[in-house]
Amino acid sequence: MGIEIEHKFLVKHIPSDITQKCALRQGYILNQPDRVIRVRTVASNFSDASGKGFLTLKGKNKGALRPEYEYEIPFTEAREMLDLFCPPPVIEKTRIWTEFEGFEWVIDQFFGKNQGLIVAEIELESEDQNFPVPPWAGHEVTGDPRYYNSSLIKEPYTTW
């Protein structure tokens, strides 16, 4: 079984040492508290006609743990699924990768109805693994369902 172990933090400011950056669009075929089916496109920018597509199934969170299965699918099919099967709105965000003291972090800067929200995530190998928190990371929001992307579809950040 695939397991995701991650911690999520608000971001005070985006660090300057970016290693990679891309544009993500994602929607939900199924969006329930105990399970979601997500479709995502990954491209260099939001207007790209090529990139990668992913279909992801996630189970219920238990603290920082969550069952997760992810499969790469053709980009054109992912775009079609977003249009045909995912009720609006679709989340748009820029994903940024950076490293801090040997750990890789991903930072998501949201747009649209989630404009202004910036969160960072670190994926770990075990639930009790220690990790350093970068100075640009703010309050930890791991386990707060308001910050789940599947929740941001229903109650966008700008409406809080």
For residue 28, indicate whether it is catalytic.
Answer: yes
- Catalytic option among 28, 147, 148, 157: 28
The CB-based long-range contact list for 22-26 (8 Å cut-off, 24+ gap) reads 22/51, 22/94, 22/95, 23/48, 23/92, 23/93, 23/94, 23/95, 24/91, 24/92, 24/93, 24/94, 24/95, 24/108, 25/82, 25/90, 25/91, 25/92, 26/82, 26/90, 26/91, 26/149
Provide the annotated active-site residues.
Answer: 28
